[in-house]
Amino acid sequence: MSLKEQLNEDMKQAMKDKEAGKLRLSVIRMVRATIKNVEIDRKKELSEEEVLDVLAKEVKMRRDAMEEFKNANRLDLSEQLEQEIAILMPYLPQQLSEAEVRGLVTEAVAESQATGPKDMGKVMAVLMPKVKGRADGKLVNTIVREILSK
């Protein structure tokens, strides 16, 4: 079952669950609308990978906003975004642990023959296709900087 079909089925189930699924229903509808808008903009149906990119972007936007709300002491809004992220995460591939990311970064550094922080672009070019959608970009960036500065 494709991601779009899965979102559609989950939306139907959330509708059947009535009150209990309101947040879930609204988040799924919002994501489906975003996917549809991207399809309209590109004038083609999105592939599975492109749908994953849209979902990852939605999660990233919520994470960034959640951080801002925490800094502004708006814990109520931060908690709501946390719940929305929890609803979206099952649609994304299994996330890599920090240790797995470190291993991939080490391989990418060796593969790109990077010697220092100035070679970060080379390492990221090799690494990002491997971790796309499976790891947070900020975490990857931090680990690459740490390893290259040694």
User: One digit per residue, pLDDT tens: the chain, 150 residues?
Assistant: 788 999 999 999 988 887 666 899 999 999 999 999 999 999 999 998 899 889 989 998 999 999 999 999 998 999 999 999 999 999 988 888 888 888 988 888 888 888 888 888 888 888 888 887 788 888 888 888 888 887
Q: Would you state the pLDDT for residue 133? A: 75
Q: Would you state the pLDDT for residue 113? A: 85
68 and 107 inside one domain: no
Q: φ and ψ at 133, to 5 degrees?
A: 80, -10
Q: Which of 46, 65, 91 is the last residue of a domain?
A: 91
16 and 31 inside one domain: yes
CATH of the domain at 47: 1.10.1510.10
Domain around 40: 3-91
84 and 19 inside one domain: yes
Angle, CA 133 vertex, CA 21 and CA 85 arms, to 5°: 25
0.85 surpassed by pTM: no
d(CA 122, CA 113): 9
Instruction: Quickly tell me which residue has 């801002």 as its tokens.
Output: 68
Range 42-63 burial, b when 16+ CB lie within 10 A, else e: eeeebeeebbbebbbebbeebe
The number of distinct structural domains making up the chain is 2
Using alpha carbons, select from 108, 106, 148, 149 the residue that is nearest to residue 126: 108
Q: Would you state the pLDDT for residue 96? A: 86
27 and 86 inside one domain: yes
